[in-house]
Chain A
Amino acid sequence: DVKVTQSSRYLVKRTGEKVFLECVQDMDHENMFWYRQDPGLGLRLIYFSYDVKMKEKGDIPEGYSVSREKKERFSLILESASTNQTSMYLCASSLTYGYTFGSGTRLTVV
C-alpha cells in the first residue's frame, strides 16, 4: 500500500514563525500536492509538483512556498505564519489519477 506520511498530526506555532510541514511518500509517485481544508470551503490547492525541483502554484499560494529536493519528499513552508493560516493541511501523491492522502496536519497559529 502506498503510504503518505505527514510528520506531525498537530502543530501549534506563533505568529511570525517560519513553519515547515513535511510530507513523504514511499511509492515513487511523480505528483505531489498540498491542500488546506477549512470548514465550508472544502479543500483548496496550495502548491503541487510533478517532479523533483519542480513546483507550480495552486489556487491559494500566497504566504506559502514549497520545496521538493527529493522525489519522495514535498515540504510546505509558511514563511511567516499568520492566524489566518490556522487550518488542516493535507498532502497527497499520485502516479496518475487517484490521490493517496496523508493523515493531515492540524496547524494552529496563535
Chain B
Amino acid sequence: SQQGEEDPQALSIQEGENATMNCSYKTSINNLQWYRQNSGRGLVHLILIRSNEREKHSGRLRVTLDTSKKSSSLLITASRAADTASYFCATETTSGTYKYIFGTGTRLKVLA
C-alpha cells in the first residue's frame, strides 16, 4: 500500500539554490522520516519529525509537518552537487511498530 506521494517527481536546480520537495500521505501518522538515496545504493536516514512537531532542522535541512493537511516538506538550503539524489518520505502509521511505508521519491539534480 502506498502511503506517501512526493512532489515533484523530479527537480533540477543550480548549485546554491534551495530545493523544496513535498510529501503527502493518506492516513494518520505517528511520525514521518526523510531519506536520501544516491543512485543505485541504499537509503540513508536524514531526519525524523514526530506528529506533535511542526518544524525540525538539521544542518542545511528543514522539515515541516502539517498534520491537518497530511503533508510534509523537505527544504535543502544552499544546495550542492553532492545533494543530487532521490529523496523519500516514510511514515509510521501505527505507533511503535517501527514499520514504515515509503513514498515514490523525488529525484533531485543539482547542477554545478
> Interface on A for B, CB 8 Å cutoff?
4, 31, 33, 35, 40-45, 48, 50, 58-59, 88, 90, 92, 94, 96-104, 106
Contacts and interface: CB of A to CB of B under 8 A. Distances in A.
Interface stretch (B13-21, B40-48, B60-68): B40-48
Contacts of B88: 42-43
Given A43-B88, A96-B98, A97-B31, A90 B43 contact: yes
Nearest to A91: B42
B41 A45 contact: no
B102 A35 contact: yes
Nearest to B105: A42
B33 interface: yes
Given A97-B33, A98-B33, A42 B102 contact: yes
Given A43-B88, A59-B1, A90-B42, A97 B102 contact: no
B2 to A, nearest CB: 7
Contacts of A41: 2, 104
A98 B45 contact: yes
A104 B40 CA distance: 8
A96 B95 CA distance: 11
Q: Which of A40, A43, A103 has the most CB of B within 10 A?
A: A43
Contacts of A106: 40
Contacts of A40: 104
A103 B42 contact: yes
A4 B88 CA distance: 19
Contacts of A88: 40
Contacts of B1: 59
